Amino acid sequence: MCWNATADLTAGTVIAAAGIVCLARVRRPRDLPVAALPLLLGVHQLVEAAVWHAGGGCGPAATAWAVVALPVLPLWVPLGVLLAAAPQDRRRLWGPAAAGLATAAVLAYCLATRPAVAGIRGHTLGYGVNVPWMPLVLAGYLFATLGALALSGDRLLRLLGAVLGSGALACSALWRLEFASTWCAFAAVASLLVLGWVRRPGPGVPVT
């Protein structure tokens, strides 16, 4: 999240609270990973508040932030969408799930062998991790996360994918050096759409 620790703390608290509501409203156990996404990203924003307070650097808060942003999300999102999907929609979701697994493996290896460094750049936090083949890894990351949502058979999840896709373009165009931070902030806010998804009518009936 941009601006400062207070903004991250406020946003994280609100989003995490929405995530708890999402989990409380889940009707099917297989919807739990998607329903938990706001809680995960809300906690992620709270971790970034700790990065602000630490003044950046490569401490535990920066490492925890990078673990969620890099290997966890590209694996969590496509697998969550795959689990929640209707049987007839699952075949086309194996591609994003495989991309997420490969991307998460590369990013987890990078984090295990080199430090994640956070730097304060005005009102934005930038994160640096030495990732080889960065364009290919980024493509895999976006296909795993946005692709899974776009290929979902659920209208609300496709809408979430469209919103996050627009956010990714905006972040890339406006804040190139701080892409990861601004992207995850946008993703956290947009994940409030999940609250509408868990409240969709009819247990086990997707809105298409």
Structural domain contains residue 204: no
Predicted TM-score (pTM) of this structure: 0.87
pLDDT at position 202, please? 53
Count of structural domains within the chain: 1
pLDDT of residue 172: 63
203 part of a folded domain: no
Q: Range of 102's domain? A: 5-198
| Residue 150 domain flag | yes
Q: Which two tokens stand for residue 193?
A: 């759409």
pLDDT of the residue at 205: 46
pLDDT at 70: 93
Q: Which residues have a Cβ under 8 Å from the Cβ of 25 and sit 6 or more positions away?
A: 35, 195, 198, 199
Ordered mean pLDDT values, 10 residues apiece, the chain (208 residues)? 78 89 92 94 91 92 94 96 94 97 97 92 80 92 95 92 79 56 64 84 49
As given in the structure block, the two tokens for residue 82 are 């795959």
Residue 54 has phi, psi (to 5 degrees) of -80, -5
CA distances from 118 to 49, 80, 93, 124 (A): 12, 29, 33, 10
Question: For residue 206, is it within any domain?
Answer: no
Is 208 part of a structural domain of the chain?
Answer: no
How far CA 33 is from CA of 98, 121, 166, in Å, comes to 17, 33, 23
Residue 207: what pLDDT?
Answer: 44
- β-strands 124-128, 117-121 pairing: antiparallel
Residue 131 domain flag:
yes
pLDDT for position 180: 54
Residue 72 within any structural domain of the chain = yes
CA 180 to each of CA 20, 62, 69: distance values in angstroms, whole numbers, following the listed order = 25, 12, 8
Instruction: In the chain, count H helices and then E strands.
Output: 11, 2
**Is position 117 within any domain?**
yes
End-to-end CA gap in the chain: 32
